[in-house]
Structure 1
Amino acid sequence: MPRIIATASSLPSTYYEQTLLAQTLEHYIASLERPFEGLWLVADIFKNAKVRGRHFAIPLDSFYEPLDIGQGHRRMVEERNALCANALSRLFEKSGVAASDITQLTSVTSVMSIPSVDAEMMNRFGFRRDLKRAPLLGLGCQAGAAGISRVTDYLHGHPREAAILLGVEMGSSIWAGPLQRDLEHLLEQLQRDSAVYPVILSQVVAASLFGDGAAALLMVGDEHPLATKPGPRVVDTRSVFVPGTVGLMGMNMEDAGPRNVLGVDVPEMASRTFAEGLGTLLAEHAVDASRVAHWFIHPGGPKVLQELQAATRLPDAALAPSWSVLHDVGNLSSATVLHMLDQHHDANGAKAGELGLLTAMGPGFSEELVLLQW
């Protein structure tokens, strides 16, 4: 079975307390001088997100005079590349493996660029020229878990090889112009159409959750020389897709730029698909949830975690790592579960034979689950 033998994370040095972010957004909306009866809700929404603060690679220095779309995108790609390079440098340092030893690189992100981020990293590190690259785009928060599954599939067919999964997200990029332009546009629309009101609140909710970060995993096939090193083996994976739900969650490109889509049914849908996938995956291995000692559940937000726990009756301890990462750094989208694995790996928190369950939900609507064993 493929094994995860090293992990690394990279978070921007700039960290903003949630209260400051709420005040910044509240003051901006007020400065637009458009009637908006929901202004008082901004502080409550940010407080209810259960986030203490978030790392931003793009500071708020130009929040009131944001970059245009082209400048903002170039800045986002530049900062994304720096985060990825830092994560990979740490991974190589921690593992002792060289970039030239890697034969496959899978990257997951919502930051669109052509060429993709893996090509950028090939120009910074000594990767092989015949490296097999697999950039995955459009899976949203689910991408970190799905990336582990897809690298596992590759290593099953190439058991003597080593591969890297790289995940990176830039939640702060929304604050670099798209959020301001979109809110201004929506508040103008609101004067003519009251149906826009919940859309505005949805954007405030999204603005309260997402942060920046990158994480990388080194995985090897079971015939690789490093396959005996400590680390969790990927026992099995499971994908769950719900037809007819493509509009429930994701990101649309509007006139003002990208806009997050977070439907009100996301928490209930996430809990349902997770319960379905978990039951099927564990049953196939004759394992009860009580035997899973380590949980890496993507914290989409407080309501997602609450609905998920209610649907599965998991103990508080199973959700504790999810609440912790949400509180400390917010939702890192695809990088979240990879960052959680890195924290767990550094803490040496598993004994041989113990099971783990990693999962994340995303647009589609869909869920990816990974069963691990140390």
Structure 2
Amino acid sequence: MTTQVETRAATAARIVGVGTSVPETSYTQRQILDIFGIQDPKIRSVFENSAIDRRYLTLPAETPDGRAVESQGQLLAKHREQGIEMAARALQACLKDARADLADVAHLCCVSSTGFLTPGFTALLIRELGLSPEVSRIDVVGMGCNAGLNALNSVNGWASTHAGKLAVMICVEACSAAYVFDGTMRSSVVNSLFGDGAAAIAVTAEEEPVRTGPEILKFASCIIPEAVEAMRYDWDDAHGKFSFFLDREVPYVVGAHVEDVIGRLLVGTDVRRSDVQHWIIHSGGKKVIDSVMINLGLTRHDVRHTTSILRDYGNVSSGSFLFSLERLLDEGRVEPGDYGVLMTMGPGSTIETALVRY
């Protein structure tokens, strides 16, 4: 006896909505230095030369002796509470952009690297927003700043085999829930860079498209195993907390491999690098952006949204590239048929890319 298994052909998916959110409170780099009483000139220089003007953060309540030190439990509570609130607003903004409702969400993917929750953000958001309990879901935890494109690859695959259904990915990063203030250069580099925020993207594959948006054509990845320790979020015994670590060689590691992964992304597509009109690159930091720009021969105009997001929000981890994509789409200069490259970088060390056609 044989069993007939129904198979469905994949349909190309499109990005039909993007939405972002941040906390209510924001700070300039100098305000953060003053709040925590940081006087070391080397550390102040790291903050003041970061190409960041302002970041959205949720900092601990002020005490008579200065800023309170948050326990790991308090940080995890911040991750959960801020994460749910930011994710809900980003999702609602995304659905408005996609001209869709909460009831239309058929697949939900949540990405985060700033804390650990069980159940994860997908389950918490389904309860918080009253989404259908039949929503297909997945939580991607701990992959880091590159994770947005890793997850988008998966979400794209789901949407491509469920024609007409709406899939949503939300990057939820309460980065201030991972801060350790100890006066060392290790923590200062991290504390000078990351900001809080959430970003959502809606994807659907319609056999007869009724929504406009860039078509997702291809993904390509590059992991650099010899640099696996260069970017970490691990346990710090000295403080009894998790904390980030960024090696100073990260920009050069990324730059040395970025040309190869872009070559593999474009191979077989008949698209040359010079044909790409729009570059949406993770706002990983000034040196990272410069390294990518130099190694790919890009101009300041090409990375204008990447640098402006870094300036206005800092590094929002996995959601940074969606903040840049939203800014590009709001700019109104994209023409039908234009090609775009999305790129994220993170622990592994990893470079993730996607090719889209507007």
Q: Same fold (TM over 0.5)?
A: yes
SS in 2 for 1:258: strand
Does residue 290 (structure 1) correspond to residue 274 (structure 2)? The answer is yes
Q: Give the letter aligned to residue 50 of structure 2.
A: A
| Kept in 2: contact 1:103–1:162 (CA 8 A) | yes
Cα distance change, pair 362–309 in 1 and its aligned pair in 2 (3 A): same
- The CA deviation at 1:79 is 1.1
Post-superposition CA distance 1:255-289 (Å, at most 9, x none):
22112111122111111232111111123212222
The amino acid of 1:91's aligned partner reads C
Residue 128 of structure 1, CA deviation: 2.1
Contact 1:23-1:43 within 8 A present in 2 as well: no
Q: Deviations over 1:2-57 (max 9, x none)?
A: 001111110112110111112334x25x6xxxxxxxx2201111112110010013
Alignment of 1:95-244 (within 5 A): 95-110=98-113, 111-175=115-179, 179-180=180-181, 183=182, 200-223=184-207, 227-244=209-226
State the Cα deviation string for residues 73-127 of structure 1 (Å, max 9, x = none).
2123111111011111222333331222222111111131111011111002232
Measure how far apart 1:154 and its partner are: 1.6
Higher deviation after alignment, 60-69 or 204-213: 60-69
TM-score (norm 1): 0.87
1:68 CA displacement = 2.2
Cross-structure match for 1:10: 21
Larger helix share, 1 or 2: 1
Where in structure 1 are there 5+ consecutive unaligned residues?
31-38, 185-199
Please tell me whether the aligned partners of residues 305 and 328 of structure 2 are also in contact (alpha carbons under 8 angstroms): no
Instruction: Kindly provide the CA deviation profile for residues 179-208 of structure 1, in whole angstroms up to 9, marking residues without a partner as x.
Output: 13xx27xxxxxxxxxxxxxxx312211111
Measured against aligned partners, the alpha-carbon deviations of 1:289-334 in whole angstroms (never above 9, x if no partner) come to 2211111111211111121122121122112211111111100000
**C-alpha displacement of 1:60:** 5.5
**Distance apart, 1:347 and its partner CA:** 2.9
Q: Secondary structure at the match of 1:303?
A: helix
The runs of at least 4 aligned residues of structure 1 exceeding 4 Å deviation read none
Alignment of 1:331-370 (within 5 A): 331-370=315-354
Matched residue, 2:32: 21
1:113-161, CA deviations, whole angstroms, 9 ceiling, x for partnerless residues? 1110111110022322221111101211101122222211222222332
AA aligned to 1:238 is A
Alignment of 1:31-110 (within 5 A): 39-58=40-59, 61=62, 64-110=67-113
In structure 1, what residue type is equivalent to 2:141? L
Which amino acid in the other structure matches residue 32 of structure 2? L
1:197 corresponds in structure 2 to: none
The answer for unaligned runs of 5 or more in structure 2 is 1-11
1:322 to 306, 310, 319: 306
SS, match of residue 172 in structure 1 = helix
What are the within-5 Å matches in structure 2 for residues 272-311 of structure 1?
272-311=256-295
More deviation in 211-220 or 279-288? 279-288
| 1:263 is the counterpart of 2:263 | no
Q: Which amino acid aligns with 2:56?
A: H
TM-score where L is the length of structure 2? 0.90
The aligned residue for residue 196 of structure 1 is none
AA aligned opposite 1:73: L
> How far did residue 353 of structure 1 move?
0.3
- 2-structure distance, mates of 1:362, 1:291: 26
CA distance, structure 2, for counterparts of residue 308 and residue 274 of structure 1: 7
Contact in 2 for aligned 1:142/1:368 (Cα 8 Å): yes
Cα separation, 1, equivalents of 2:328 and 2:130: 28
Distance in 1 of aligned mates of 2:150 and 2:242: 23
**In 1, distance between residues paired with 2:303 and 2:324?**
12
Q: Percent identity?
A: 27
Distance 1:220 1:86 in 2: 20
